[in-house]
Amino acid sequence: LGNGLDQVLLLAEERTDEVGRIQLRDQVKKLTLPTEMGERFQAIGLQRGVDFEPAFELGDLSWRL
């Protein structure tokens, strides 16, 4: 969530119908819930001229890789 996903979802929900909002919420749940991809998806962020701070502001989990 540190990457601004919650803000993107809020903006997208303003422009979408009811069915679209439900689909967006389901997609966000799949990406973030621990029982879905939230705990299974792992990534390494390497930096050169890019600000990755917001993406990792919720904590450094590099010890889990």
pLDDT in tens, 16-28: 788 888 888 888 7
pLDDT attached to residue 18 = 83
pLDDT attached to residue 40 = 60
- Helix H segments across 1-65? 5-14, 18-32
Residues of the chain with pLDDT under 70: 1-3, 36-45, 52, 54-56, 58-62, 64-65
| 65, two tokens | 């890789």
Q: Is 15 inside any structural domain? A: yes
pLDDT attached to residue 1 = 54
Q: Is 65 inside any structural domain? A: no
pLDDT attached to residue 37 = 65
Q: Which domain holds residue 46?
A: 5-59
- Give the chain's domain count: 1
Q: What per-residue string of b and e applies to 16-32 under the rule 16 or more CB within 10 Å gives b?
A: eeeeeeeeeeeebeeee
Torsion of CA 22, 23, 27, 29, to 10 degrees: 20
